[in-house]
Structure 1
Amino acid sequence: MGTQSYKNYIRYYPPHHFVYYPVIMAFLAFSIYFSFTNEDSLIWGFISVVFVVLLCLAFMLRQHYALTLQNRIVRSELRYRYFFITGKRLEDFEHQLNDDQLFALRFAPDNELPELTQRALKENLSGKAIKKAIVNWKGDYDRV
């Protein structure tokens, strides 16, 4: 993997994104087609609904569990890094930052983190604005 930046930080899991979803989508398309062209349209309609439910459940569950855990880890890491760098507790004012801001700050290197944190608090920067303000992007290569 090359150097991570704002333009390339999104990560794909090929078996899931490029195999499972296309196969489910193909089965869904065929079942919808058969529900309109086959004599057993009620059965094929039911099969189509099952594929829609499978598609939605797979997406929601895959993301939900992994992201919930990742969010806890990112918060803990950010608290530790902020304390290590500044000697002050992030928890004292963390409630003033929303999740989007906190999660964007994880990409800031140690020398930019305190200043960006203060800017986020004072200027209410969005997560996207924080990411764009980072000069030397600190890659997060182990995220989900």
Structure 2
Amino acid sequence: MKRQDYKNHKKYYPPHHFIYLPLLLILGGTGVYKIWDDPQNKLIWILFSIIIFLLLYLAVMVRQHYALGNQNRIVRLEFRQRYFEIFNKRSDEVIEKLSFDQISALRFADNEEFKELLYKTLHENISGDQIKRSIKNWRPDYHRV
């Protein structure tokens, strides 16, 4: 498995991202084109296009909604556990001051950088992307959804 870092940490699901979604986009584009190209069957092509775009919307939203909701809960839980292991105290006050974007970014830092970046995040309110760019020793997360 390739070493993970900032440039390659995003994950794609090929059947969904490179087959199903492009196919729906092509069918949707074809339907919209046929609305003007085939005026005899305009209503049929309008209905076809609406159905394809609804399928596209549902495919994107349902797939992402459940997986990301669950992943976000786990990331918050991992942050709380890691904070407790490092500082030996609860993270309730700290976690309320952080956005999910910041919490998510901090998980890629090793323990020493985690301490420094957490302090910097709390005092300078740096963004999740700034946190990720600041990480020198990237802790990979190969189990992302």
Using the size of structure 2 for normalisation, the TM-score is 0.95
Moved more, 87-96 or 133-142: 87-96
**1:97 maps to amino acid:** L
**1:36 maps to amino acid:** W
The answer to which structure has the higher helix fraction is: 2
**2:107 maps to amino acid:** R
> 2: CA distance between counterparts of 1:90 and 1:64?
26
Shift of 1:88: 2.0
List runs of 5+ in structure 2 lacking aligned partners: none
> 2: CA distance between counterparts of 1:76 and 1:97?
14
**2:129 maps to amino acid:** K
Which residue number corresponds to residue 121 of structure 1?
122
**2:108 maps to amino acid:** F
Task: Describe how 1:97-108 pairs up with structure 2 within 5 A.
Answer: 97-108=98-109
Which residue number corresponds to residue 2 of structure 1?
2
> 2: CA distance between counterparts of 1:50 and 1:69?
29
> 2: CA distance between counterparts of 1:28 and 1:123?
46
Shift of 1:92: 2.2
Contact 1:104–1:128, Cα closer than 8 Å, also in 2: yes
For 2:112, what is the secondary structure of its paired residue?
A: coil
Instruction: Using the aligned pairs only, state the percent identity.
Output: 48
Moved more, 89-98 or 16-25: 89-98
Contact 1:82–1:113, Cα closer than 8 Å, also in 2: no
Q: CA RMSD for the aligned pairs? A: 1.0
Shift of 1:50: 1.0
> Is 1:81 aligned to 2:82, yes or no?
yes
Deviations 1:103-127 (A, max 9, x none): 1111111222122111100010110
> 2: CA distance between counterparts of 1:109 and 1:62?
30
Shift of 1:11: 0.7
Contact 1:82–1:114, Cα closer than 8 Å, also in 2: no
> 1: CA distance between counterparts of 2:125 and 2:22?
40
Contact 1:31–1:47, Cα closer than 8 Å, also in 2: yes
Which residue number corresponds to residue 134 of structure 1?
135
List runs of 5+ in structure 1 lacking aligned partners: none
Using the size of structure 1 for normalisation, the TM-score is 0.95
Runs of 4+ residues over 2 Å off in structure 1: none
